[in-house]
């Protein structure tokens, strides 16, 4: 009789505990993989508690198991990243485009496309390209036959094609300098590419990924881990083989000038304009004399230029008493 009463008391205690758990506020459901792991852990604990005596419950141990369950749920929920809706987040502005460029299947020049937002798919056709102002700092360029998805505030997915990124806005651009710059990560099928104070280029096709660095440091973390400094590049084949190398001078970068946004040189020094040409073309400026350098630092220019920087240089240099000649990877500036 005493055993029977004890069992009834235990059942009532279990029911009260169950009622208490029932009144607890619900938590967001975990992923299926987490739920399976938790169920298996609690089931193993219950089997140990039962010990073959199905009708007799050890309420203290079961309460401990339930507490562990709730703690695991809480921990997993706290570690889980919240789902952020980026569909209304402006990721980039269109600064220049040519040829066939589409955003979510719409022409980039259409009234429906005011800027590039989170989740947008950007695609360029043959002989096409586009220059984007990345958030509040940096320039992102897409070459022809390139497909990119803007999948996170600081990340794009390069599905195919070739892109170039300059993490510093040109001093001649219309972008306002901002100290809270959003860094860019480029996700590919080979891994995620990150940079540090950099100008670099990334290309992807069915056979390989190639990363070329003009300035700074670039790394990739994925199936293969690699890094490259200025003047270096690395290639990763579809089979995962890594091949380090060197960039092919300015030849690798010529396409970038086609998508250089227009600049206003009105009131700008010749030396500033030459620095702009240098950064866009990848060529170094060399002054033939101190007199030529002094003149470039004193003379000012006028007008807007919407053309490739090296072509713009041939025009604006004629307005001052200077000459500028391209010698392979160097621009030599001299007096007339």
Residue linked to tokens 């510093």: 168
Lowest mean pLDDT among 20-24, 173-177, 309-313: 20-24
Q: Which residues sit opposite 195 in a β-bridge?
A: 218
CA distances (Å), origin 144, targets 161, 163, 209, 248 = 7, 9, 16, 20
* Measured distance CA(237)–CA(323) in Å, rounded: 45
| CATH 3.55.50.30 domain range(s) in the chain | 262-335
* Measured distance CA(196)–CA(219) in Å, rounded: 9
CATH 3.55.50.30 fits 262-335, yes or no: yes
Question: Nearest Cα to 132, choosing from 100, 82, 91?
Answer: 91
Please write the tens of the pLDDT for every residue from 242-274. Answer: 999 999 878 889 999 999 999 999 999 999 999
pTM score of the predicted model: 0.73
What's the DSSP call for residue 75? H
**C-beta of residue 194 within 8 angstroms of C-beta of residue 202:** no
CATH of domain 90-255: 2.60.120.1440
Q: Which residue has the higher pLDDT, 22 or 209?
A: 209
- Tokens at residue 138, please? 């940096």
Angle, vertex CA 178, rays to CA 176 and CA 184, nearest 5: 110
Q: Which residues 6+ apart lie within 8 Å of 189 measured at CB? A: 204, 209
Please write the tens of the pLDDT for every residue from 96-111. Answer: 999 999 999 999 999 8
């Amino acid at each position: 009789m005493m055993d029977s009463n004890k069992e009834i008391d235990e059942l009532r205690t279990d029911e009260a505990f169950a009622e208490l758990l029932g009144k607890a506020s619900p938590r967001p459901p975990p992923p299926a993989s987490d739920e399976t792991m938790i169920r298996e852990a609690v089931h193993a604990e219950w089997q140990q508690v039962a010990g073959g005596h199905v009708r007799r419950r050890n309420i203290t141990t079961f309460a401990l198991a339930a507490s562990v369950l709730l703690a695991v749920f809480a921990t997993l929920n706290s570690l889980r990243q919240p789902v952020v809706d980026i569909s209304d987040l402006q990721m980039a502005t269109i600064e220049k485009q040519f040829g066939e460029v589409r955003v979510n299947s719409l022409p980039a020049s259409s009234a429906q496309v005011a800027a590039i937002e989170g989740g947008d798919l950007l695609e360029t056709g043959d002989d096409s390209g586009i220059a984007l102002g990345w958030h509040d700092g940096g320039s992102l360029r897409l070459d022809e036959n390139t497909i990119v998805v803007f999948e996170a505030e600081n990340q794009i997915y390069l599905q195919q094609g070739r892109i170039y990124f300059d993490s510093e806005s040109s001093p001649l651009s219309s972008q306002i300098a901002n100290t809270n710059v959003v860094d860019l990560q480029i996700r590919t099928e080979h891994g995620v590419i990150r940079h540090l104070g950099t100008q670099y280029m990334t290309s992807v096709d069915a056979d390989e990924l190639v990363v070329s660095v003009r300035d700074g440091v670039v790394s990739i973390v994925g199936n293969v881990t690699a890094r490259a400094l200025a003047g270096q590049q690395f290639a990763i084949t579809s089979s995962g083989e890594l091949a380090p190398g060197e960039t092919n001078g300015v030849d690798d970068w010529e396409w970038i000038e086609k998508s250089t946004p227009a600049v206003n040189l009105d009131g700008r020094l010749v030396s500033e304009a030459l620095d702009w040409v240098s950064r866009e073309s990848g060529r170094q400026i060399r002054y033939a004399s101190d007199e030529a350098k002094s003149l470039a630092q004193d003379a000012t220019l006028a007008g807007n230029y919407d053309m490739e920087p090296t072509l713009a240089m041939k025009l604006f240099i004629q307005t001052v008493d200077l000459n500028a000649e391209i010698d392979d990877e160097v621009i030599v500036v001299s007096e007339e």
